[in-house]
């Protein structure tokens, strides 16, 4: 998925000299190709993420198309005020790229684990929120973010969990759910985002469930969510993000108003990680490992 991200960024920059990449002293190997082919469009703003976002706002005001890259713990979390006031308030065309969302940087501890970024960015008016699940969704999200010509946050989680789609996505429709797998209509359906879509697909194959991916968290189409609810006996949401304010919250907000249905929200509990460890260890600690998730879904189905 990271390769798809890099390829899309290079392609957009070669096609439009106004595209700029700003990084907070991160992603050197990731951006080798970009620096080689678009050296004049690359800015290392250093370990000063708040200034970097302000710089991006200024560049956008004079006609550039900044893509601002950082770890999700810093972009958007450390820079939330600047994103709100410098960028989103004036609807500036800036794409914010938060890499390593969730528990990717597991060994670095709570300071680098980002499980609140969707909640924070969803609440900012005028800021769209994207969360691709595989390389195909990443490419579609990058193209969508560029074409949107507005303020966008793109969340990048675990990048090596494999594809959930079998072919490229022609065009990402804002707010749409993408059906990944068909299952039985007399069972709950799964709506997942980011890294958890792969988990949802694996579990769905065992339990014969329908799976939808949500690459767009904000906006989220009411009609698509209601259609998923009508096609199932309930909904299960899966995300590597806090249960507060994320995908599960967005789905329940919609269903509670438009089509009340049973919803099981699977995500990170309202707690910090107790210990450092591997990525898989933290999934186990927060009950997001495949075995625990499969059991919870099975109990919900029953």
Stated pTM of the model = 0.96
Q: How far apart are CA 298 and CA 25, in angstroms?
A: 44
Domain-embedded: residue 162: no
Domain match, 185 and 243 both = yes
Q: From CA 112, how far away is CA 91, in angstroms rounded? A: 28
Count of structural domains within the chain: 2
161 within a domain of the structure (yes/no): no
CATH number of the domain bearing residue 106: 3.40.50.970
Pair (150, 200) in one structural domain: no
My answer on whether 90 and 216 are in the same domain is no
CATH of the domain at 249: 3.40.50.920
Examine the domain organization and report whether 146 and 204 are in the same domain.
no
The reply to whether 192 and 240 lie within a common domain is yes
Give me the DSSP letters along 79-135: THHHIIIIIGGGT---EEEEESTBTTTGGG-GGG-BSSHHHHHHTSTT-EEE---SH
DSSP 40: G
193 found inside a domain: yes
Give the dihedral sign, CA 174/176/179/180. Answer: positive
pLDDT (tens, 9 = 90+) of the chain, 302 residues, equals: 889 999 999 999 999 999 999 999 887 789 999 999 999 999 999 999 999 999 999 999 999 999 999 999 999 999 999 999 999 999 999 999 999 999 999 999 898 999 999 999 999 999 999 999 999 999 999 999 999 989 999 999 876 788 999 999 988 999 999 999 999 999 999 999 999 999 999 999 999 999 999 999 999 999 999 999 999 999 999 999 999 999 999 999 999 999 999 999 999 999 999 998 999 999 999 999 999 999 999 999 87
User: Is residue 166 situated within a structural domain?
Assistant: no
Please check whether residue 168 lies inside any domain of the structure: no
Range of the domain at 134: 2-156
């Amino acid at each position: 998925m990271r390769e798809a991200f890099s390829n899309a960024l290079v392609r957009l920059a070669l096609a439009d000299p106004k595209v700029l990449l700003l990084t907070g002293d991160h992603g050197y190997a990731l951006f080798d190709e970009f620096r080689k082919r678009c050296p004049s469009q690359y800015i290392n703003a250093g370990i000063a993420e708040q200034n970097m976002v302000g710089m991006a706002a200024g560049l956008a005001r004079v006609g550039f198309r900044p893509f601002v890259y950082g770890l999700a713990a810093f972009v958007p979390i450390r820079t939330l005020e600047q994103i709100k006031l410098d960028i989103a308030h004036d609807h500036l065309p800036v794409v914010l790229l938060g890499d390593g969302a969730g528990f990717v940087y597991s060994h670095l501890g709570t300071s680098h684990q980002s499980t609140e970024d969707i909640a924070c960015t969803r609440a900012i008016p005028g800021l769209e929120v994207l969360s691709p699940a595989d390389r195909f969704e990443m490419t579609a999200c990058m193209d969508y973010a560029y074409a949107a010509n507005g303020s966008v946050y793109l969340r990048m989680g675990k990048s090596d969990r494999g594809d959930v789609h079998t072919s490229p996505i022609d065009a990402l429709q804002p707010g749409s759910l993408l059906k990944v797998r068909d299952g039985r209509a007399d069972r709950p359906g799964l709506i997942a985002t980011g890294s958890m879509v792969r988990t949802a697909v694996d579990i769905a194959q065992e339990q014969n469930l329908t799976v939808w991916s949500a690459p767009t968290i904000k906006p989220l189409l009411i009609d698509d969510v209601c259609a998923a609810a009508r096609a199932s006996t309930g909904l299960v949401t899966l995300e590597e993000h806090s249960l507060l304010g994320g995908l599960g919250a967005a789905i329940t907000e919609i269903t509670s108003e438009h089509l009340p249905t049973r919803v099981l929200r699977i995500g990170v509990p309202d707690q910090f990680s107790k210990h450092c460890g591997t990525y898989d260890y933290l999934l186990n600690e927060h009950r997001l490992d495949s075995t625990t998730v499969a059991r919870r879904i099975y109990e919900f189905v029953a």
